[in-house]
């Protein structure tokens, strides 16, 4: 049976569950999450980075089952809000394996992090140091890291590049603000600086920027020891590991990444006379992206001039990525087999704007008609986690598929949900 990651036209099932059955039982649009695929990706990270800490970046997608699978496979978790933290905690995730991020942490975020007892808080601004120091109860110490902007441009789109110095994340290496923050943290008895962090960006397909980052971060670690006599035991290189959205697209080679990063770290530390720090990585997309499938029902097929528009029952409210980053997907006709030739079509959503296109230039069988099911593979990361309430269509459910069974993880957002939040009349 087809796995979520390798779906083809005419496939009838995912994870051993017939797609028509899923559509009938849970309705469309629906998001399927292949548990076997998620667990396999976790295991391959653990295998390739055996003596490192692998944190799953919850922003890619989080629900309690997802947190549980990741925990069960031995990974930690990167969260960036009290909301993600709460969900992880109520799934039973051990808080000491959780790291809190954020360039603008709210008082609630910091309060929740301290109350749950997260393992690390990554400091991203000077003002956060004092806020955190007073929030930590007397007599205890919170482990923290400093997020550095290493001045490296990498990432699949300008909106998701976070390693340069002209964006909002991290403290600059060149203007002294990273040094200044480090010195201030070392002065705080309630904060324990355990390491440095950087996250270059997302959808990176080359190992080179990571190697450059190691070089710069080791340079900073050496400087910290020189200035303060402090040896930092951890180095977090963030996530950003790129995946292929369509067959033939490049993806980051995780084994090559591990090899090159380890070699650079060992060499750089030896040259600087530093012990090799524990490496931390934070993949999100590469863990869950290929495990997700968006399942839509075709509602209309329309030919206008040269274009064929295939309109489905979801759209930019469940997947804003094509509109935001111009990403291209490869939708598949599923649930029935067709021998019609493949023709170029535009798969559009149901929302009230022309930019609501899920897949331009998609190749689909010419006999496609209303009622057909379309599956969009590689839908696991940054779809539902960025889903909106646009047009009050309601966010789709999440259904886990594994070994021939389908199980509802997150229910569909209903009209009752909209009514219950609207308290003003
Ligand atoms: N660590 C930090 C501190 C991050 O900010 C992120 C992602 C990650 C790890 C995980 O990155 P990943 O391995 O998933 O690339 N909405 C965009 C992606 C934004 C990424 C934000 N930060 C998209 O749909 O492409």
153 Cα to the center of ligand 1, angstroms:
15
Q: How many CB atoms lie within 10 A of CB 231?
A: 12
- Average pLDDT of the residues in 41-56: 98
Ligand 1 contact via 383 beta carbon (within 6 Å): no
**Atom 15 of ligand 1, residue of closest alpha carbon:** 240
Ligand 1 contact via 56 beta carbon (within 6 Å): no
Q: How many CB atoms lie within 10 A of CB 27?
A: 14
Is the pLDDT at 230 greater than 80, yes or no? yes
133-153, pLDDT tens digit by residue?
A: 999 999 999 999 999 999 888
Q: How high is the pLDDT of residue 158? A: 85
**Atom 22 of ligand 1, residue of closest alpha carbon:** 202
Using most ligand atoms within 8 A of CB, pick from 284, 324, 327 the residue to mutate for ligand 1.
284
d(CA 63, CA 369) in angstroms, rounded, equals 34
Rounded (5°) CA angle 147-239-253: 140
- Average pLDDT of the residues in 288-292: 98
**Percent residues over pLDDT 70 in the chain:** 100
394-422, pLDDT tens digit by residue?
A: 999 999 999 999 999 999 999 999 999 99
50 belongs to an annotated ligand binding site: no
- Average pLDDT of the residues in 284-292: 98
- pLDDT confidence bin for 423, thresholds 50/70/90: very high
CATH number of 4-32+289-421: 2.40.37.10
202 Cα to the center of ligand 1, angstroms:
5
- Average pLDDT of the residues in 12-17: 93
Ligand 1 contact via 254 beta carbon (within 6 Å): no
- Average pLDDT of the residues in 217-222: 97
- Average pLDDT of the residues in 114-138: 96
56 belongs to an annotated ligand binding site: no
Q: How high is the pLDDT of residue 163? A: 84
ipTM: 0.99
Ligand 1 contact via 322 beta carbon (within 6 Å): no
Question: How many alpha carbons fall within 13 Å on the CB side of residue 195?
Answer: 21
Using most ligand atoms within 8 A of CB, pick from 57, 158, 236, 327 the residue to mutate for ligand 1.
57
CB 13 within 8 A of CB 1: yes
Q: How high is the pLDDT of residue 155? A: 84
Average pLDDT, the chain: 96
Tell me: cis bond preceding 29? Omega within 30 of 0 counts.
yes
**Percent residues over pLDDT 90 in the chain:** 93
Ligand 1 contact via 59 beta carbon (within 6 Å): yes
249 Cα to the center of ligand 1, angstroms:
19
59 Cα to the center of ligand 1, angstroms:
7
60 Cα to the center of ligand 1, angstroms:
7
CB 357 within 8 A of CB 322: yes
3-class DSSP assignment, residue 53: strand
- Average pLDDT of the residues in 80-95: 98
41 belongs to an annotated ligand binding site: no
Q: Which atom of ligand 1 is nearest to the CA of 122?
A: 3
- Average pLDDT of the residues in 324-342: 97
Q: How high is the pLDDT of residue 1? A: 52
Is the pLDDT at 122 greater than 90, yes or no? yes
Residue 171: CB partners within 8 Å, gap ≥ 6?
124, 125, 126, 146, 147, 148, 149, 177, 178, 180, 181
Q: How high is the pLDDT of residue 156? A: 80
**Atom 16 of ligand 1, residue of closest alpha carbon:** 382
**Atom 8 of ligand 1, residue of closest alpha carbon:** 239
Q: How many Å is the Cα radius of gyration of the chain?
A: 23
Domain locations along the chain = 4-32+289-421, 35-287
- Average pLDDT of the residues in 338-346: 97
pTM above 0.90, yes or no: yes
Q: Which atom of ligand 1 is nearest to the CA of 242?
A: 15
183 Cα to the center of ligand 1, angstroms:
28
57 Cα to the center of ligand 1, angstroms:
7
Residue 69: CB partners within 8 Å, gap ≥ 6?
35, 38, 39, 42
Catalytic positions are 352
CATH number of 35-287: 3.20.20.10
3-class DSSP assignment, residue 4: helix
CA nearest neighbour of 387 among 102, 4, 63, 21? 63
- Average pLDDT of the residues in 206-221: 97
Query: At which residue do the structure tokens 């097929």 appear?
Result: 301
Ligand 1 contact via 284 beta carbon (within 6 Å): yes
Q: How high is the pLDDT of residue 280? A: 98
Task: Kindly give the residue spans of alpha helices, DSSP state H, lying in 206-291.
Answer: 208-228, 254-272, 285-288
Ligand 1 contact via 320 beta carbon (within 6 Å): no
Is the pLDDT at 4 greater than 90, yes or no? no
Ligand 1 contact via 240 beta carbon (within 6 Å): yes
CA nearest neighbour of 374 among 366, 384, 383, 364? 364
Joined tokens for residue 380:
């696991």
């Amino acid at each position: 049976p087809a796995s979520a990651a390798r779906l083809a036209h005419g496939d009838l099932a995912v994870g051993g569950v017939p797609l028509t059955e899923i559509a009938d039982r849970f309705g469309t649009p629906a998001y399927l999450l292949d548990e076997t695929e998620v667990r396999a990706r976790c295991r391959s990270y653990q295998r390739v980075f055996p003596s490192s800490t692998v944190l799953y970046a919850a922003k890619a997608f989080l629900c309690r089952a997802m947190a549980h699978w990741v925990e069960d496979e031995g990974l930690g978790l990167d969260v960036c809000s009290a909301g993600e933290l709460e969900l992880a905690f109520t799934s039973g995730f051990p808080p000491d394996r959780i790291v809190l991020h954020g360039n603008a942490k709210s008082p609630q975020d910091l309060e929740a992090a301290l109350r749950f007892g997260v393992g690390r808080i990554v400091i991203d601004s000077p003002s956060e140091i004092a806020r955190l120091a007073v929030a930590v109860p007397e007599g205890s110490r919170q482990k923290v890291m400093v997020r550095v902007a290493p001045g490296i441009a990498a990432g699949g789109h300008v909106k998701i590049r976070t390693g340069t110095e002209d964006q909002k994340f991290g403290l600059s290496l060149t203007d002294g603000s990273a040094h200044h923050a480090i010195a201030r943290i070392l002065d705080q008895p309630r904060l324990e600086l355990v390491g440095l962090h950087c996250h270059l960006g997302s959808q990176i397909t080359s190992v080179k920027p990571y190697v450059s980052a190691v070089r710069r971060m080791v340079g900073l670690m050496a400087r910290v020891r020189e200035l303060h006599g402090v040896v930092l035991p951890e180095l977090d290189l963030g996530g950003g590991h790129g995946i292929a959205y369509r067959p033939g697209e490049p993806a980051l080679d995780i084994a090559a990444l591990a090899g090159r990063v380890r070699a650079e770290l060992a060499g750089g530390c030896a040259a600087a006379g530093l012990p090799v720090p524990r490496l931390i990585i934070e993949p999100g997309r590469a863990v869950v992206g290929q495990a997700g499938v968006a399942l839509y029902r075709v509602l209309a097929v329309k030919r206008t001039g040269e274009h064929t528009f295939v309109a489905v029952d979801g759209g930019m409210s469940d997947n804003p990525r094509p509109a935001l980053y111009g990403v291209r997907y490869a939708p598949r006709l599923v649930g029935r087999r067709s021998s019609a030739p493949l023709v170029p079509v535009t798969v559009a959503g149901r929302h009230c704007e022309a930019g609501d296109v899920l897949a331009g230039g998609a190749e689909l069988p010419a006999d496609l008609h209303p009622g057909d099911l379309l599956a969009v593979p590689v839908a696991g990361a940054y779809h539902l986690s960025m889903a909106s309430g646009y047009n009050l269509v309601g966010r789709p459910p999440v259904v886990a598929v594994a070994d021939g069974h389908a199980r509802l993880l997150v229910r569909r957002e209903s009209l009752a949900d909209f009514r219950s939040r609207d308290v003003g009349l």
